[in-house]
Structure 1
Amino acid sequence: MATTKTTINLTNPTARGKLIARREPYWTKIQAGLYLGFRRSVDKGGYWIGRRAGEGETRYEYLNIGSDQDSAEAAGIEHTSALAKVNEWNTERLRGISDGSETVSDICRVYVEWLRISEKRGPKSAYDAEKRFERLVYNAPIGKTRFKDLKEIQVLKWRAALVEDDYEDDEEKARKQDSANRNFKSFRAALNYGVKKKYRSDADAWKSIELIPDVGASREDFLGAAQRKAFIGAMPEDLQKLATALLMTGARPGEMAKAQIAHFDKDAGILKLKGKTKKWRDVYLSDTARAFIAENAKGKIGRAFIFTRADGEQWQAHMWCSIIRQKFRPASEENKKGEGLAAKLGLPLNIVMYHLRHAYISESLAQGIDVFTVARLCGTSVEMIQKHYHKFIPSNIQERLSKVAII
């Protein structure tokens, strides 16, 4: 909850410099319901903030004024100027207008201040939003745009920059898209707050922009045996080998591309892989997988990669992504019309190498391998398996329990 400090001297730079850095501003009362605040920075100087009594359910309204320190962009704001801005802001707000000079960053900062003292949200929500805006808004072109001039194309470009076109696997894609949705929701809330407080009259620039759909949904594209054979068979020979290894082990493409001869124990039938956690795990191989990897390991020693391109170079994510994109889905419109290779082979139009890992996990679960073992072999969590592959987990628990002889 905000506290009012009436004995703090904010007029003198030396006095402000002696204040202890903290998140809650030091407030001085101008008149009933109107305050000038100063938030002391950890390094040097600080920032001026205006506060006034809100209307309706809003307890306070805030004005981001700026720093008292000189910068490359602007001179520092002295106490008299900050005080004048608060009084001017209060007069304009009483008349229900804004001068339109506020930037998107200004709106986000005012929104953060509201969150900080909100009884429903509080400091934790304010901290989360503030960190997102520091990373994605304050130093970005959109942050310097005047709020009243913000256009939909600017918001779309900003949102597009939060996500990527190519991902090494579906788990990475799901995480980044989920993160993009959370970032956009926080940003959108700040923009809506700006409209509510009459910094602009409409939300046309962002109201029609939807969240990325189906993030966190269970896996729906399952490749049957015939589809898996067609997918791998249409690849170049060197990529076929890497793809087959993925199908036999459930490894991520990047993990298998980094697998070296030293990581393969033929006698034990174990391949050591390092995943996203940077920790090694033992992948136990079927007899077929062991024989296949052993065949591709012939003539290689030590730190040589088991699977390489035809020219001997190590596989990189952009290489197989480019091949799959160009060969199976060269043009989205073409695929939508059923004319692309993916459509002709009866494959998902969004086909990627990760579908082979998906097939391994799905088949393993469907054939009775327990969730814990599948998660350990594939370097993921039990929660991830249950969330995305639950429909492949056998549900005949009563039948299996009946076969357990306890008495």
Structure 2
Amino acid sequence: MARLVRDSRLESREARLRLKMRQEPYWRLISEGIHLGYYRGNRGGMWHARVRSSDNKRYVKSALAQADDYTDANGKSVLSFSQAQEQARKFASKLYRSDDLEDNKPYTVTSAINDYLADFKANGKKSLYATETQINAHILPPFGEKVISTLTFKQLSAWKNKLATTDKRVRSSKKLNRAQKYISDEDNDEDYQRRRRATANRIITILKAILNHAFNTNRVQSSEVWQKLKPFKNVLEPKIRFLSETETTRLLNACVSDFRLLIRGALLTGARYGELTTLKVGDYSSDNNTVFIHQSKSGKPRHIPLNKEGINFFEQLTAGKKSQEFMFTRSDGKQWKKNYQVRPLEAACNAAKIIPSINFHILRHTYGSALAMKGVPLQVIAAVLGHSDTRVTHKHYAHLMPSYIADVIKEHLPDFGKTEKSNLIKITA
């Protein structure tokens, strides 16, 4: 076993916590060509290794694990000073055996994006196209060639503010190589500004996910710069919109026949557009009277129970079809694809005099709102909508349940004894 190196600055947590925070770790030579480093952050420290390459021209660095500043060492994710020395030597040994110094090249944002998207695809996440679109439009142009370790908070903050003041991009054909156009809001009112800040927050989340992936895979030493970048506040959506029964009737009557089926399916299940358009005939169970969603936004499958009208609808929709056929198809027999719903829904809204026009997701809110107003518990609504927990459900639908909550309290709260009669009489003006 290699000799344990002593260092009064690093070997105790008390001594480490007295060190000043700085951008570069505190390095200690533990063997020839091998340094152990301690980086102190706001939430405790991290151990790092720095190994001189076999050609003696450069160093290869790697984050090892958390230091045992606030948590006892476990030899894996949290290391003591002695354990960190052992892990640094193991890292050096592995590096020397492989003689692979590729990791020592400057790690750019473009490289981080490629690694992040590869992991994104491997995990089968749903929003790959939308994520790539945002990356190509807003992250690659300003940051692609920059080395992550050179990013500054000033750069990120300026980029964040620019995102919030940039007008909405116009959707155009991917086949046409045209300059990007933007929609400018003439009024530039408060709600428009809120929506731009909300969009900026979503893009910031993507960038931070990319950079965090780089940090968690030991490609960069510190995440402190982008952890300081905070999202815009007070950008939550206003009160959730939903359609009344009269409006849904007008909307259905205004739809062309193939699209009407899709709209009706959404209203009877609360399923998302992408969930409905990938349903197969075999996903409807006439035995259980449910529709099975294989993979939702949360990544979890779910069964959606149907009411009497829903059962009749899906019985007719699936009659005479093979189990592997798509349940909802266009009039030409082809599958509904991404964004195919936008124009027919806008046309139907115009014909039905639903102003302003809705997007497809409002049908999902209409389903959830209808259940909430009938007193269905939020846990049930969350389960049928596929929410991972009740926080989102509560935010969207709890305000629709005051009468139900009042009725439940009146029925179940005990009396705690009878109120004594009083001779006092209330005087009313």
Normalising by structure 2, what TM-score?
0.49
Separation in 2, partners of 1:6, 1:372: 50
Corresponding residue for residue 140 of structure 1:
143
- SS of 2:402's partner is coil
Return the letter of the residue paired with 1:237. S
**How many Å apart are 1:321 and its aligned residue?**
3.4
Separation in 2, partners of 1:375, 1:263: 21
Match status 1:254 vs 2:274: yes
Trace 1:8-407 onto structure 2 (pairs within 5 A): 8=28, 15-16=32-33, 18-20=34-36, 22=37, 24=39, 40-41=49-50, 45-46=59-60, 140-141=143-144, 143=146, 178-180=201-203, 211=232, 214-215=235-236, 217=237, 219-274=239-294, 275-321=296-342, 323-324=344-345, 327=347, 342=350, 345-349=353-357, 351-380=358-387, 381-403=389-411
Show CA shifts across 1:189-219 (max 9, x none): 969x9xxxxxxxxxxxx9xxx948633x464
Separation in 2, partners of 1:387, 1:233: 31
- SS of 1:271's partner is strand
When the two chains are superposed, the root-mean-square deviation of aligned CA atoms in Å is 5.4
Task: Answer yes or no: is the 8 Å Cα contact 2:151–2:225 preserved in 1.
Answer: no
Identity score, percent: 19
Separation in 2, partners of 1:390, 1:356: 18
Distance 1:377 1:343, change over 3 A: same
Separation in 1, partners of 2:393, 2:163: 32
Task: Answer yes or no: is the 8 Å Cα contact 2:279–2:327 preserved in 1.
Answer: yes
Return the letter of the residue paired with 2:269. T
Task: Answer yes or no: is the 8 Å Cα contact 2:250–2:352 preserved in 1.
Answer: no
Distance 1:164 1:288, change over 3 A: farther
Return the letter of the residue paired with 2:306. L
**How many Å apart are 1:248 and its aligned residue?**
1.0
Runs of 5+ consecutive residues of structure 2 not aligned to the other structure? 1-16, 41-46, 54-58, 62-100, 110-137, 172-195, 212-223, 416-429
Task: Answer yes or no: is the 8 Å Cα contact 1:365–1:392 preserved in 2.
Answer: yes
Task: Answer yes or no: is the 8 Å Cα contact 1:218–1:388 preserved in 2.
Answer: no
**How many Å apart are 1:154 and its aligned residue?**
6.2
Distance 1:138 1:240, change over 3 A: closer
Separation in 2, partners of 1:316, 1:43: 53
Task: Answer yes or no: is the 8 Å Cα contact 1:218–1:389 preserved in 2.
Answer: no
Separation in 2, partners of 1:287, 1:151: 54
Task: Answer yes or no: is the 8 Å Cα contact 1:264–1:272 preserved in 2.
Answer: yes
Distance 1:401 1:278, change over 3 A: same
Runs of 5+ consecutive residues of structure 1 not aligned to the other structure? 26-37, 48-69, 76-103, 105-134, 167-172, 194-205, 329-340
**How many Å apart are 1:376 and its aligned residue?**
1.4
The alignment of Structure 1 onto Structure 2 pairs a total of residues equal to 275
- SS of 1:282's partner is strand
Task: Answer yes or no: is the 8 Å Cα contact 2:139–2:207 preserved in 1.
Answer: no
Distance 1:373 1:8, change over 3 A: closer
Distance 1:174 1:353, change over 3 A: farther
Show CA shifts across 1:132-171 (max 9, x none): xxx9689924847998x9799966676799x9989xxxxx
Task: Answer yes or no: is the 8 Å Cα contact 1:177–1:212 preserved in 2.
Answer: no
Return the letter of the residue paired with 1:348. P
- SS of 1:384's partner is helix
Distance 1:165 1:364, change over 3 A: farther
Distance 1:379 1:175, change over 3 A: farther
**How many Å apart are 1:23 and its aligned residue?**
5.4
**How many Å apart are 1:238 and its aligned residue?**
1.4
Return the letter of the residue paired with 1:372. Q
- SS of 1:220's partner is coil
Return the letter of the residue paired with 2:291. L
